[in-house]
Structure 1
Amino acid sequence: MPIHDWTRVYAGLFHDFHQSWSIFIKNAMNAGLLPKGLTALVEQKVSTKETDVLTVDQLADGEADRGSGGTLLTMTAPATRIVRKSSKEFYSDLANRIVVKHQLGRTVAIVEIVSPGNKDSKRAFREFVEKSVAFIRAGVHVLVVDLFPPTKRDPFGVHRAIWDEFEDEDVLFEFPPGKDRTLASYDAGREKAAYVEPIALGEALPDMPLFLFEGHYIKVPLEAAYQTAWSFLPRELQVIVETGVMPAGAENSAGQ
C-alpha cells in the first residue's frame, strides 16, 4: 500500500490512525517477533531518566534469552540505503510510542511515530530530538518513523537533527531526489549506529530494524501493520485521506 499524504488532513485524524497503527505494530511484535523475556507495550510517556534502563551489558549477561523464540537477527547489518556510525561516544504529549521492555520492567527499545505536533514549533521539535538523543545515550535503541515532509524546523529531516548530536560528519545527510520521508533505526550500543531509509509518498513501507541488543535486531513489519490499521479506518475517513477534501463544515469541527 502506498504511503498516504497525511499533511492534507487535520492532525486529529492522523492522531487516531497513529494510535491504531501503534497497536498493530505492538501486536505483531508480541506475536512471535520478540525473543523470550521481552514484551512490547504502548505507552504515552517513557522517562529517559528511569534508573532501571536495561543496558547492553546487562542483556549480555543473560537477562533476556536471545536464542529462545522470536526472529532475532544477528550481526548482519540491516540493508538500508544509508548507514552511519559514530565512535566519538563509544564508551507530542498525547502521542503513544511503542516500548519494548524486559520482563523486569526495564526499557530496551522504543518505536517513535512522528506526529505533526512534533514539528509544530521549535520547542516541540527540540524536545523530540533531545528526547530521542537522551534515549540513545542511555542505551535505549530507537526506531523513528516520520511520514511527514521536512519543515523549517527540520529542513534536512529529523534524522539529521538527531545524528548531528553524535557525529559532526564531513558529508551531511541529504534526502535523495523525491524521497523526503524518513525511517531511521538507531543502535544504542557502545558504537552508536544509524540505519536510515528515505522513502517517498506512494511507496510501500519497508520492514525496519529495531535493535534489542548491540548488533542484534528484529524487523518491524511497518507496512503490514499500516495496512491493517488502514483497513479499520472508516471508508469516509479513507476518502478524506486519499483526496485531501474535507466534508462541508468538517474543517470547523475537526479540532485543528
Structure 2
Amino acid sequence: MPLRDHFRPPVDDQHSWEELHGQWPAVIVQQLRPHLPPGFIAGPRVHPGSQIEVDVATYEKDNAPPFAADTSDGGGAVAVWAEPTVEVEALLDFDEYEVRVYDVQRGRRLVAAVEIVSPANKDRPESRRAFVAKCSALIQQGVAVSIVDLVTTKRFNLFLDLLETIGHTDPTLGDPPPPTYAASCRAVKRGKKTLFQARSHHLELGRPLPTLPLWLDSERVVPLDLEASYEQACHDLWIA
C-alpha cells in the first residue's frame, strides 16, 4: 500500500498525524516480537512535548533601579551579580515517538532505538539540534538508531544533519535531500577504528515503505518492516 501524506488534505481532514505517531510505535513493538532473539525486549515510548514557544522578547524590563543590598536591618540580600539579565521560556521538552529495544540479559541495556520524527522535531533550529544531539549521543553509547521521517511540511533532513556532525554526507539521497526518508545507523569497532555505518532510503508518497536493518549488536540484526507496521497502524486507525 502507498505512503500517505498525513500532513495535508485529504488525510489530515479526517486524521491528525499525532494519531499515527502515537499508534505506530506500539505496532512496531508487536511486529518485532517474533523476530527478537531470547533476552531482548522492545517497548514503545510516546511523549508529546509541551510545545513551549521560545520568545526572546518576554524578558522583564522593569523601570525599577537595579537591586542593591540593604543591610540596614542587619539582614543579607541577593547580590546584584546574581540577578538574571534575561528571563525567557525555554524549549526543554521535546516530542518523542520511539521504540526502544533492550538486552535484558545485560541489565536491560538499551541496544537500539527507532525514532519517528514529528513536525516539532524539525520546525526550529534548536529543535533540530536537540534531535540530532540525542541520536548522536545514543550512537556514541553503542545504540543503533533508526530514523523514520514522514513529515512532508518541513524540508529539513535530520539524518543528513546527523551525518554532518561527523563530517560526512549521503550522496544516495540526492541534492537537495528529500524531506521524507528512513535510515538506520550505528557505530562499530574495527580494531582501533570506529566506523559509522548507515542504510538510508528516500520515502516517496504513493510507494511502499522499506525494510530497515535493526542492529542489536555486532553480529545480530533483525528486520524493521516499516511497510507492514505502517499499514497495520493505518488500518487500526481507519486511515484509508
TM-score (norm 1): 0.65
Instruction: Note if contact 1:21-1:229 (Cα within 8 Å) is conserved in structure 2.
Output: yes
Question: What letter matches 1:203 in structure 2?
Answer: R
Aligned-pair Cα RMSD in Å: 2.5
Percent identical pairs in the alignment equals: 29
More helix by share: 1
1:93 aligns with 94
Give the SS at the match of 2:43: strand
Match of 1:201 among 179, 184, 205: 205
**What displacement does 1:116 show?**
0.9
In the alignment, the residues of structure 1 paired with residue 95 and residue 130 of structure 2 have an alpha-carbon distance, to the nearest angstrom, of: 14
Instruction: Note if contact 1:158-1:182 (Cα within 8 Å) is conserved in structure 2.
Output: no
**What displacement does 1:176 show?**
6.9
1:36 aligns with 38
Give the SS at the match of 1:229: helix
Cα distance change of structure 1 residues 126 and 178 upon mapping to structure 2, 3 Å threshold = closer
Q: Does 1:231 align with 2:222?
A: no
In the alignment, the residues of structure 2 paired with residue 44 and residue 19 of structure 1 have an alpha-carbon distance, to the nearest angstrom, of: 6
In the alignment, the residues of structure 1 paired with residue 16 and residue 110 of structure 2 have an alpha-carbon distance, to the nearest angstrom, of: 29
Alignment of 1:71-220 (within 5 A): 93-103=94-104, 104-149=107-152, 151=154, 154=156, 157-168=157-168, 172=171, 174-175=173-174, 180-190=179-189, 191-214=195-218, 216-220=220-224
In the alignment, the residues of structure 2 paired with residue 185 and residue 20 of structure 1 have an alpha-carbon distance, to the nearest angstrom, of: 21
In the alignment, the residues of structure 1 paired with residue 152 and residue 175 of structure 2 have an alpha-carbon distance, to the nearest angstrom, of: 13
Instruction: Note if contact 2:111-2:144 (Cα within 8 Å) is conserved in structure 1.
Output: yes
1:6 aligns with 6
**What displacement does 1:108 show?**
0.6
Cα distance change of structure 1 residues 182 and 215 upon mapping to structure 2, 3 Å threshold = farther
Query: Which 10-residue stretch deviates more, 12-21 or 130-139?
Result: 12-21
Cα distance change of structure 1 residues 126 and 177 upon mapping to structure 2, 3 Å threshold = closer
Question: What letter matches 1:135 in structure 2?
Answer: L
Instruction: Note if contact 1:146-1:182 (Cα within 8 Å) is conserved in structure 2.
Output: yes
Instruction: Note if contact 1:160-1:173 (Cα within 8 Å) is conserved in structure 2.
Output: no
Gaps of 5+ in 1: 46-91, 240-256
Cα distance change of structure 1 residues 179 and 204 upon mapping to structure 2, 3 Å threshold = farther
Give the SS at the match of 2:206: coil
Gaps of 5+ in 2: 48-92, 190-194
Question: What letter matches 1:102 in structure 2?
Answer: D
Match of 1:222 among 222, 226, 235: 226
TM-score (norm 2): 0.69
Q: Does 1:25 align with 2:28?
A: yes
Cα distance change of structure 1 residues 36 and 176 upon mapping to structure 2, 3 Å threshold = farther
**What displacement does 1:106 show?**
1.3
**What displacement does 1:168 show?**
3.6
Instruction: Note if contact 2:113-2:144 (Cα within 8 Å) is conserved in structure 1.
Output: yes
Q: Provide, for residues 54-106 of structure 1, a one-character-per-residue CA deviation record: whole Å limited to 9, x for no partner.
A: xxxxxxxxxxxxxxxxxxxxxxxxxxxxxxxxxxxxxx734331000111221
**Larger Rg, first or second structure (1 or 2):** 2
Instruction: Note if contact 2:146-2:182 (Cα within 8 Å) is conserved in structure 1.
Output: yes
